[in-house]
Chain A
Amino acid sequence: MGIGSKVRRLALLAGMAACAFGLSAAQAAEKHKIFLSMSYIGNDWQAEAANMVKAMAAHKSLADKVDLQVQVAGPNAQRQIQQINAMVQSGAEAIVVYPISPTALNQVVKNACDKGVKVFAYDAEITEPCAYNVHIDQLEAGRVTAEWLVKKLNGKGNIIAITGVPGTSVDDQRTKAAKEVFAKYPDIKIVGEAVGMWSQAVARTELSKILATRNWDDINGLWMQVGCFTANSMQLEAGKKTSELLPCAGEGSNGGRIQMLPEGTEVEGAAPPYAPAGAQRISYASPPYSGALALKLAVEAIEGKDVPKTTILPLPVVTNETIKLCDEGTWAEMKAGCNAFKPSLVSNPGWFASIFSDQTPEVGLNAALVGQPEN
């Protein structure tokens, strides 16, 4: 198959578009046209992931190879279908996509593959076999966190579970895997369960509802997809001492990570509840760098390298034993093992801190915050 001829044709098309916008044709002709189709950008995770993708595209190793265009589909799978179609029509070489639905995009993705477009899904999965997937093992996430909690409670106690968005594969897999673990211990009882929608604000409302008819003293542990930071804040408000905080298996937000640091640790910019509290935690997340990695892999795939169809990312897990504060948050520093960021740098406690990957030295803290790549 004449890849060269296709590139030339695309370059011609891109050149025509570039002329229309007053760019020099020569400059655009060498670049790969890659689209990013995001989902709903109204939450922290999505925005952070988008920043990292943009930073990756702006990194010096890719900047003169990639012409990245970012589009938002909102929460509507129908729109994403149409958006991907339009991207294929306008000459995409690769499409990096946060799939709103793992199944609804199958036909349009197949159609894109048939036209030679590489489709990379990050974080969530596309079940169409021709798509490339970059994500963590959600079953593992549910299992590992539940096992940690069971161990902390010595196999006995009442727990509250706060799940994600019902009807999504991610929530289904995490919750099922966790419940399978809990089912093995008859003395572990789930006494309250609520839908947390992966939002700290919702977690707070739901926990308040549950606690209206229950007491913190009746509860021994928490398993949440998002909300440990909030749960700890609520316990402190209810008059608990930091040493009495319940063990909580949950999300990888920076607020939660700071709370995991031993009480009394000097941290710049910390103010309760966004402050070290020695909270017993296991912190995990779907890492927001997956989009940036997907983009990098997409360029490799376009350049003819062999890229596996499925890239399972290592589950980023941080416990009280491995928590370590970063000074500046460069990639090199994170490689040395730090995994929490000062509140003076990251003022939003709900911000996701699992941004380190061996495979993406191009992006560090500044990439996730403002879309600026490492040097």
Chain B
Amino acid sequence: MSSAAASSPVPGGFGLRRALVRNRGALIAAAVLAILLFVVDWISAGPLTYFDVSFLSSGGATSALAAIGQTIVILSGGFDLSAGAVISLVNAVLASSMDPMAPGASILLWTTVGIGVGMAVGAFNGFFIAVLRMQPIVVTLSTMFILQGVTLLVMDKPGGFVSPDLGAFYLGDAIAGWLPMPLVVIGVVLLAWFWLKGTRFGTALYALGSDPESAASVGINVVLVRFAVYVIAGGCYGLAGVFISAQTGSGDPLVGNPLLLSMFAAVVVGGTRLGGGQGGPVGSVFGAYILMIVVNILLVLNVSAYYATIAEGTILVLAALAGSISHASVLAVQLRAARARLAAWRAGILPSQLERVDRRLKIAEPAHAQRSPASPRPAFHLRNAETLRYALPAYVCLLLIVLVTQIWLGRAILNPGYWNSLLVLSSFLAVLALGQGTVILTGGLDLSVPWTIGISGIILAGMVNGSDAALVYALPVVLVMACAIGFANGFGIVYLGISPIVMTLATNGILQGCALLYSQGTPAGFSSPMLRWVMTAKLAGLLTPIVLLMVVFVVAAVLLLGRTPFGRRVYGIGNGLRAARLSGIGVERTLILVYMLSAVCAAVVGVMLTGFSGQASLGMGDDYLLPSIAVVVVGGALITGGRGHYLGMLGGVLLLTALQMLLAGTTLPYATRAILYGLVVLGAVMALRERRLQ
């Protein structure tokens, strides 16, 4: 931090200020953490002692170490979903290979093993992302599935043994009574980061995250930097895995998986921008501790269990808001803009108040006259070359999977039941793909999908309670509620300037709490006969009504994104927010509509699932979050926005569903299935590689 000030040629005051501005995210996160610590100290019975601090520091260390790795990936413009799985794998490897008969163990050796495993996984990710130029999100998602399988092969149930030596070292004191070891470990990693940041590699990392093409054209070896980023990050996850092993003293193949989402929240709360180029791991460490200390606050305040997720969501939003208080924050900008608009309206000079006269310069001929018969419309495959290039691979792979199903299990291609099941099971993700896909096209991400599905299903089932007549008013109520959820998401993102990941993650938690409060833990009611008929009946013995509705839905979705002003605005925003704003797109309004669309799609899925299962259950949407993102990317969309076609996403949906049906038909063990699933997804997107930069 001081290096920025020291190297500055201008007077000290200015350099200090610049350092402050540069590290604003981290500084604010530190301030928030300090305030929260003070709050905990103030409301809990006794004063914070060294033991409290020691416990707190070890409690957040795993997330903090993993968040450092994730931050480096995000700084480079990437995204790593395999982080949680690496932690589980390292934990399983350590716990299954240490010998309980020889309780002494070399700390250095096992730490190296853990970091080595993480780096190996990082190299795997890095190879596909850097060398083969594939999208990070889908590569790391595949890696996550593969690793979950591998972890279960290493250790199929909790158990194993981690030497107490490791625990004594990592959880002990560096200076007894003054400095707990976890803080030292984090400090060492951060020091290594500062060294790295000062090297050419560090500069290249930030350059890559800010603008990969400029970075390449000034001679940075993009492939090498990207590769190194994932290897370094893998090492951090590995160290986090070693730490959690030391902390728990044994192994559990599922221990790391739930850390994933909160890791992103920690990074964003710490002031790092998703998409790269701005921020740093120091803030993420504070972010991880902010999220962790919430546990203590809830405990001292004795927040009832049902309100816990609501309180967490609120704290997350407040922390993110606190991080954005400044003159340049979105909220401040929006307020200034509103004031300017009000002033303009008073003065009568708002565009909408002016007389509408065509003031265009008459330079070019009107457009329609230009299309002379001499230049015929290019052929279909030329006009849609880019869409085809990115959408076709999913369909080709789908064909292959269906062929394999036919050969391996029989009864596929000529069996109408197979196709009907494929379409019915695809329908949920097909609807979600429109919502999530549109959000991704604008460069955002909607993590509130799971509990929007859950609460919609629960409220619908409760209101309908088996009566078709009640469906007439229950369905609109649920859809209006979804609009409100989407509006809240959009409002927070657009007007309060909260990052989509944090905002929708917080909404998800708040919705979970609302669903629990509404249902008191046991959702009542069940689907009406008509809804069940739509989802499960067989017309003429082979066709489920929902399949017909899906055809209508797909046509409507394609038209919405391809042929309406709304669709064009979505692509415009995704390709360049600033350009879109300057060309007169109402960015705010469009973004809010996009999040409303996503929430409505999720609510529709909640209704469909209720009809399909006959009842609603808590957590029924949990299995749909990652697939909803995966299908969009497998279908050829760019996770950073601006590119993708709904038909491609639909191909992704069909491909993943067909693959799951194939695997379900076999009797392979779950671990093998997970590995195969990951490998096939990885293979399927191999064809989506980015073209080489120059």
Whether B248 pairs with A47 at a CB distance below 8 angstroms is: no
Within 8 A of A (CB), among B394-428: 405, 409-412, 415, 417-418, 421-422, 424-425
Is A187 an interface position by the 8 A CB rule? no
Decide: B45 and A47 in contact? CB cutoff 8 A: no
- B371: min CB distance to chain A, Å: 49
CB under 8 Å from chain A, chain B span 592-624 = 609, 612-615, 617-620, 622-623
Assess the A107–B45 pair: CB atoms within 8 A: no
Indicate whether A194 reaches chain B with its CB closer than 8 angstroms: yes
Q: Which residues of A contact B302 (CB under 8 A)?
A: 69
Given contacts A206-B664, A213-B412, contact A74 B258 (CB under 8 A): yes
Q: Contact size class for A?
A: 35 or more
Closest-by-CB residue of B relative to A47 is: B521
The answer on a CB contact under 8 Å between A44 and B665 is: no
* Distance of B153 from chain A, by nearest CB (Å): 11
A90 near B248: Cβ-Cβ < 8 Å:
no
The answer to whether A349 and B55 touch (CB under 8 A), given A79-B295, A213-B410, is no
A171: B residues at CB distance < 8 A: 157
- Identify B661's interface contact among A168, A201, A209, A274, CB under 8 A: A209
On whether the beta carbons of B55 and A204 are closer than 8 Å, the reply is: no
Main secondary structure on B side of the interface with A: helix
Tell me how many residue pairs across A and B have CB atoms closer than 8 Å: 242
Check if B536 is an interface residue, CB within 8 A of chain A: yes
Contact check, B613 vs A201: say whether CB atoms are below 8 A apart: yes
Query: B454 to chain A: closest CB distance in Å?
Result: 8
Given A71-B305, A349-B526, A369-B522, A41-B415 contact (CB < 8 Å): no
A357 interface residue per 8 A CB criterion: no
B284 interface residue, CB < 8 Å from A?
no
Closest to A209 in B: B664
In the assembled complex, the CB of A99 is this many whole angstroms from the nearest CB of chain B, namely 10
Asked whether B617 lies within 8 Å of A212 as measured between CB atoms, the reply is no
Choose among A38, A44, A87 the residue that contacts B617 (Cβ–Cβ < 8 A).
Answer: A44
B148-168 to A contact mask, C-beta < 8 Å, 1/0: 000110001111100000010
B46-86 with Cβ < 8 A to chain A: 46, 51-52, 55-56, 59-60, 62-63
Given contacts A51-B521, A78-B259, A105-B248, contact A213 B614 (CB under 8 A): no
The size of the chain B interface, using a CB distance under 8 A, is 93
Determine which residue in A13, A46, A104 has the highest number of CB atoms from chain B within 10 A of its CB, and name it: A104
Flag if B523 contacts A348 (CB, 8 Å): yes
**Interface-facing stretch out of B16-24, B129-137, B249-257, B490-498:** B249-257
Q: Which residue of A lies closest to B56 (CB)?
A: A82
Most buried by B among A77, A81, A190, A237: A77
B298 within 8 A of A: yes
Name the residue on A nearest B157 (C-beta): A172
When A89-B52, A199-B619, A209-B665 are in contact, do A77 and B516 touch as well, CB less than 8 Å?
no
In the complex, chain A residues whose CB is within 8 Å of the CB of B298: 71
**Residue numbers in A under 8 Å from B417 (CB-CB):** 211-212
- List chain B residues, Cβ under 8 A from A214: 411, 665
Q: Are A107 and B59 in contact (CB under 8 A)?
A: no
Pairwise interchain contact A167-B254, C-beta atoms closer than 8 A: yes
* Binary CB contact string for chain A from 306 to 323 against chain B (1 if under 8 A, 0 otherwise): 000000000000000000
With A101-B254, A169-B158, A200-B617 already in contact, the answer to whether A86 and B523 are too (CB < 8 A) is: no
Residues on A lying within 8 angstroms of B by beta carbon are: 13, 16-17, 20, 38, 40-44, 46-48, 50-51, 69-79, 81-83, 85-87, 89-91, 101-107, 127, 163, 165-169, 171-173, 190-195, 197, 199-202, 204-206, 208-214, 230, 233-234, 237, 271, 273-274, 347-351, 369-370
